[in-house]
Structure 1
Amino acid sequence: MYFKIDEKIFAQYPSLKIGVIVVRGINNSRRISSIESLLRGISAQRGKEFTSKDISENHMVDIWNRAYGMFGIHPKKYLPSIAALLKRVANGKQIPHINPIVDLYNYFSLKYLLPIGGEDLDWLCGDLQLTFTKGGEAFRPLGSIEIEKAGEGEVAYMDNGGITCRYWNYRECERTKFTNKTVNAAIIVEDLSNMHMDQFGAIIREMEDGIIKYIGGQIEPYLLNQENPEIDFRVEGRKNADDSRIPAQEKVYFMEMEQLKKTEDIS
């Protein structure tokens, strides 16, 4: 199973480089206080540095706003992931604990103002691609039982099952999200800023060190750009997946959880 960046993406965004950290054999079920402390600290720091009004003026955010505009998406309606994190902390809100891998990549995202996300490798189906949509591809947003259909020309991460991250890095999907059961992960770090590859590589190495220190697992780092647009994940993933269909049992579960949340809010 490969990860491939479409040459058409590089034609429109030639400065794009992506760091991928493949981590195998992790225990993602624990709460790790050291990671949560790092995340609280960087959240407080960025919250003091930014107001919700000046986030878009930052160079590292502005480049993503312009990138979104180039494929027809308004970045104030659909925030790039780094803008969404900064907006939250600028408004005095904490970044919530999710699980160790997500907490750690959110820390590094705020530290270096880079969009960071990822995929549970065992839930991918076929090659992962960063490409333009043809229109009509299925997308099931994180935490939702609603199915969306992509328009034509959106930048998206996709596999054979559907869109795994829509509008480039705006929203991840339910199927390949990191959970406390994730064992094999691909963490994806994106840059459009013309940062020197040596500096970008140093950030990736720092992330590797953090993963080894706090979480563990076997690490395989990769750097992708126009000259090196694909890597082999060396996993099989799932043979079948179809995000346009949600099992009835899963729908019932989500509806029960939603009702429970409403009950808790009332009480």
Structure 2
Amino acid sequence: MSSFVPTIEPGVLTLAPGFRALSLFVDAKPVAASHVAAEAALRAANAVKQGGPAWAEQHLAAWAEAFRAFGAKPQRTPCSAEALRKRVLRDGALPAVDPVVDLYNAISVEFAVPIGGENVAAYQGSPRLVVAEGTEPFDTMKDGQQAIEFPEAGEVVWRDDQGVTCRRWNWRQGVRTRLHQDVEQMWFVLEALPSMPDAALHAAGGALAQDLIKMMPGSTIRIELTDKSAD
């Protein structure tokens, strides 16, 4: 996985100075303790109900401003962490989808930080966070059927050599690179703006790594921070 290197386009940091992406690269073993995800989800729900974490309100507000900076409407398409947080406040819990997905969603809610989970084997080249031209294909589902959409010009997206993998920064993930528990090479990306302390970002990454090891014993994890644009 050494050739799989996420990069950030300079234009993204112009829109959101101080953005950082903390990556976890995981060579995963089979899931042996799926209950770890349920425990993390309960912990996250309790944390939200108690009003935590301390930086949550400012961090999610900063994400709303970042979305507005590239023309998105955060009330309609909020960042992934805010969408999950609202679901917990409305329903009292997070939905169960897949043990690995449930786990990183729980960490996202607990730490008020957007987290993406991706299948490395499905990528064509490395992931790049870019300002879209509007011609990049994005594979998604519409009315239960596979469909191709295109981002708006100026929209911030994650992409690879084939097309967009996540629209509006971290709002909607594509189908092609979607993660599930049987994936052997996983990439998780935690996305932070300056209002989230560095210590909190690394704590979130550490919590995710610790729970992934508990869930999939024998897995190996490498953690790297990307906080500068690609030259």
Normalised-by-shorter TM-score class: 0.7 to 0.9
With CA pairs under 8 Å and 6+ residues apart, which has the higher RCO, 1 or 2?
A: 2
Verify: 1:197 aligned to 2:198, yes or no: yes
Question: Max radius of gyration: which structure?
Answer: 1
Shift of the 34–210 alpha-carbon distance from structure 1 to 2, 3 Å rule, reads: closer
Shift of the 87–15 alpha-carbon distance from structure 1 to 2, 3 Å rule, reads: same
2:13 to 10, 15, 23: 10
Q: What is the DSSP-based 3-state SS (H/G/I as helix, E as strand, rest coil) of the residue aligned with 2:117?
A: strand
Is the contact made by 2:113 and 2:192 (CA closer than 8 Å) also made in structure 1?
A: yes
Q: Deviations over 1:35-88 (max 9, x none)?
A: 2122034224424649xxxxxx92121111100000000001112101110111
Structure-2 residue corresponding to 1:249: none
Is the contact made by 1:15 and 1:194 (CA closer than 8 Å) also made in structure 2?
A: no
Cα distance in 2 for partners of 1:41, 1:196 equals 21
How many residue pairs get aligned? The number is 221
Structure-2 residue corresponding to 1:255: none
Shift of the 118–85 alpha-carbon distance from structure 1 to 2, 3 Å rule, reads: same
Root mean square deviation, CA, Å = 2.1
Is the contact made by 1:89 and 1:95 (CA closer than 8 Å) also made in structure 2?
A: yes
Q: What is the DSSP-based 3-state SS (H/G/I as helix, E as strand, rest coil) of the residue aligned with 2:169?
A: coil
Structure-1 residue corresponding to 2:227: 225
Cα distance in 1 for partners of 2:181, 2:197 equals 35
Cα distance in 1 for partners of 2:18, 2:176 equals 30
Deviates more, 1:162-171 or 1:6-15: 6-15
AA aligned to 1:61 is L
Structure-1 residue corresponding to 2:24: 21
* Percent identity of equivalent pairs: 25
Shift of the 225–99 alpha-carbon distance from structure 1 to 2, 3 Å rule, reads: same
TM-score by length of 1: 0.76
Is the contact made by 2:137 and 2:148 (CA closer than 8 Å) also made in structure 1?
A: yes
AA aligned to 2:39 is S
TM-score by length of 2: 0.87
* Cα drift, residue 26 of structure 1: 2.7
Cα distance in 1 for partners of 2:114, 2:166 equals 12
* Cα drift, residue 213 of structure 1: 2.0
Verify: 1:116 aligned to 2:115, yes or no: yes
Shift of the 93–195 alpha-carbon distance from structure 1 to 2, 3 Å rule, reads: closer
Structure 2 unmatched runs, 5+ = none
Is the contact made by 1:44 and 1:89 (CA closer than 8 Å) also made in structure 2?
A: no
Structure 1 unmatched runs, 5+ = 51-56, 231-267
Deviates more, 1:143-152 or 1:118-127: 143-152
Cα distance in 1 for partners of 2:197, 2:42 equals 29
Structure-2 residue corresponding to 1:236: none
Structure-2 residue corresponding to 1:61: 60
Q: What is the DSSP-based 3-state SS (H/G/I as helix, E as strand, rest coil) of the residue aligned with 1:146?
A: strand
Shift of the 182–116 alpha-carbon distance from structure 1 to 2, 3 Å rule, reads: same
Q: Deviations over 1:143-189 (max 9, x none)?
A: 75121111111000001121100000000000100123211100000
Cα distance in 1 for partners of 2:181, 2:215 equals 15
Structure-2 residue corresponding to 1:106: 105
Alignment of 1:202-213 (within 5 A): 202-213=203-214
